[in-house]
Chains A and B, each alone.
Chain A
Amino acid sequence: AQKVTQAQTEISVVEKEDVTLDCVYETRDTTYYLFWYKQPPSGELVFLIRRNSFDEQNEISGRYSWNFQKSTSSFNFTITASQVVDSAVYFCALSEESSGAGGTSYGKLTFGQGTILTVHP
């Protein structure tokens, strides 16, 4: 069974601080995707980043960066120079491959418990 653990329940920082959200996952699949989603108070889950299991290259996208390490099954997410608008609940998620007639899909996600990030002005 797949499992995603976000050890940090809540994080509070002051604006312009860097903040790293931790995520550890468990899976027996060899092909999978890892995601970070953000859920602001409005409730809609907003896609942030995705990484597939066969590409460990870490990247930076604007103020976001991530560190994917298969050896430790970790997929940590960093926000640089945080802003008040970054305040939200952040979810790490792991997808599961499903094959059948018509092709392969990855619609089943296992989510972590979420990390509440509060950025104070």
Chain B
Amino acid sequence: KAGVTQTPRYLIKTRGQQVTLSCSPISGHRSVSWYQQTPGQGLQFLFEYFSETQRNKGNFPGRFSGRQFSNSRSEMNVSTLELGDSALYLCASSSPGRGVSGANVLTFGAGSRLTVL
């Protein structure tokens, strides 16, 4: 069973540019969540998508956006990049369900490491 795939793994951008990161969840998983990890702030929740709808959004500015497609694949976009956006962006997918073995366990991808110069 393939895991969560994130592309690209590494990228370098300059301030003011925008970036799009992609996440392919585990087959059958309908929930996709995004997290930002930085040395100073740790792991912070960005947003969660479930069946193409945004379920939750973290405390991030509007420059951070995302979407989910009908095949559950998700993308996140950051516009007008700032130096502070340099981080490891992690995507996770899960299969919802109560009382179902393995349900609601987030499986994470290897991440996309963004460097903003």
Chain A residues engaging chain B, CB cutoff 8 angstroms: 33, 35, 37, 42-47, 50, 91, 95-96, 98, 100-114
Asked whether any CB of chain A lies closer than 8 Å to the CB of B17, the reply is: no
B108 touches A98 (CB 8 A): no
**Binding site secondary structure of chain A:** strand
**Binding site secondary structure of chain B:** strand
Chain B residues engaging chain A, CB cutoff 8 angstroms: 30-33, 35, 42-45, 48-51, 53, 55-56, 58, 88, 90, 92, 94, 96-98, 104-111, 113
CA distance A91 to B45 in the complex (A): 14
CB of B62, distance to nearest CB on chain A (Å): 19
Additional A-B contact list (18), CB under 8 Å, known A47-B108, A101-B53, A102-B30: A33-B104, A43-B111, A44-B108, A46-B108, A98-B48, A100-B50, A101-B51, A102-B51, A104-B96, A105-B30, A107-B31, A107-B56, A108-B45, A109-B33, A109-B35, A109-B106, A111-B35, A113-B42
B43 touches A91 (CB 8 A): yes
Contact of A104 among B98, B106, B107 (CB under 8 A): B98
CB of A43, distance to nearest CB on chain B (Å): 5
